[in-house]
Amino acid sequence: MSIPTAHNTAKKGEMAKTVLMPGDPLRAKFIAETYLENARLVNNVRGIQGYTGSWKGAPVSVMASGMGIPSMGIYSYELYNFYDVENIIRIGSAGAISDDLKLRDIVFGLGACTNSDFAAQFELPGTFAPTASYELLKIACEKAEGLGLAPVIGNILSSDTFYDDRQDAMLKWKGMGVLAVEMEAAGLYMNAARAGKNALAICTISDHVITGEALDAEARQVSFTQMMELALSIAQALDAQ
C-alpha cells in the first residue's frame, strides 16, 4: 500500500522513527501541545490526531491508537510497514488485577496475555507469546530509575472485552500472576514482532478491578504526566543511539 493510507494522511517522512501511542486522541493532542516543540498535526483521519515535533532535540511523533486490538492493529501495522517507524511506545491506562499494585503505579508490560484471536492470522503451529522488545524495556528501566520512578514489570492482559459476562475472569488471570488489564498491548507486540520492529507498553494504574478503587479525572492527569515524560525520555535516548 502507498501512503497516505486510508487511515493516515501523513506523507513520507512526516512520522518520526519513535511514536508514542496513547489510546485517546485528546491525550495525543495534550502531549503534543504540552511537550513537543514545533508540533504539527500530520494526521487527523477519524479524529485520531497524529503530531510530529521534537523533545529536547529528538524527533518524536505522538498518535492515538483508539480502543482495542483491532484499532491498534491497524495503526501500528501501517506505522511499522508503511511509514518506516522503528519504535512504538504505548502509553495508556490499565486496571490493576494484582493485590500488589496501587493506584498511580506505573507498569511495564514485559508480556501481554490476551483473549483475542489476533494471532490466528499468522497461522502458527502453536501459541504465540507476545512480549515487549528488550531494547526498549532496558532503556525504560534506566530512564525510570533516573526519574525516581519504580515501575512494576511483568505480564499484563490485553482483553477484547471491557464488560466481561464472566464474573470470575479477572480472578483467573490474577491466579496466573497477571498484573493488570488493558486492551491494546498484545496486538502491538505481535505487529512489532512480525515487522521486526520494537514495542513497549507503559501503563499507569487508573483503577483496581478487584477492589473497585479508581482515580478521578484530575488525579489521572497528574499521574499520566509522569508516564508521558518517561516515554519522551525513552524516545530521546533512542534518537541518541
In 64-126, alpha helices (H): 69-82
**Neighbour-count burial of 156, counting CB atoms closer than 10 A to its CB (0-12 exposed, 13-18 middle, 19+ buried):** buried
Which one of the listed residues 160, 207, 216, 239 is annotated catalytic?
207
Whether residue 207 lies in the annotated active site: yes
Closest CA to 232 of 102, 51, 40: 51
In angstroms, the CA 7 to CA 4 distance is 8
| DSSP conformational letter for 131 | B
At residue 38, the 3 state secondary structure works out as strand
**Grid coordinates standing for 239?**
534518537
Residues designated catalytic: 207
